[in-house]
């Protein structure tokens, strides 16, 4: 064997082992599931299981933009509230300046909430 071929032998071995693991962990479960028949629909498999009643509309209906606005506002205020916990734990290191910085931060949050409330972003029609 030449020196170049022996240098690339670990890379070739790596690819062979990778393809073997892909076939074992991806291909084998797919083959077994097709043999067992889990993809065959039956009346029990297609029945309602979460709410107990059949769906009354298509799952791909469009939502009102207001739904997304309320969801975004919830995420923003939820993430901002998550900043309070590390601040509360480390308050003794920052002292009084950290206290006033957080009070300013909370004041800005209150101003944002009042603004969202006044423009009607929290109203659900």
Cβ atoms within 10 Å of 8's Cβ, excluding its own? 9
pTM comes to 0.44
3-class secondary structure per residue, 73-121: HHHHHHHHHHCHHHHHHCHHHHHHHHHHHHHHHHHHHHHHHHHHHHCCC
pLDDT tens string 9-36: 889 999 999 999 999 999 888 888 888 8
pLDDT at position 15 is 94
């Amino acid at each position: 064997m030449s020196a170049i071929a022996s240098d690339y032998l670990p890379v070739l071995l790596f690819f062979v082992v990778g393809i073997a693991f892909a076939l074992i962990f991806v291909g084998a479960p797919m083959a077994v599931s097709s043999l067992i028949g889990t993809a065959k629909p039956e009346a029990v498999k297609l029945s309602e299981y979460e709410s107990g009643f059949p769906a009354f509309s298509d799952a791909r209906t469009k939502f009102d933009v207001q739904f997304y606005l309320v969801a975004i506002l919830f995420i923003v205020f939820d993430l901002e509230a998550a900043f309070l916990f590390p601040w509360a734990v480390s308050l003794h290191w920052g002292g009084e300046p950290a206290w006033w910085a957080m009070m300013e931060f909370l004041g800005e949050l209150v101003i944002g909430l009042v603004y969202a409330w006044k423009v009607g972003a929290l109203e659900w029609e």
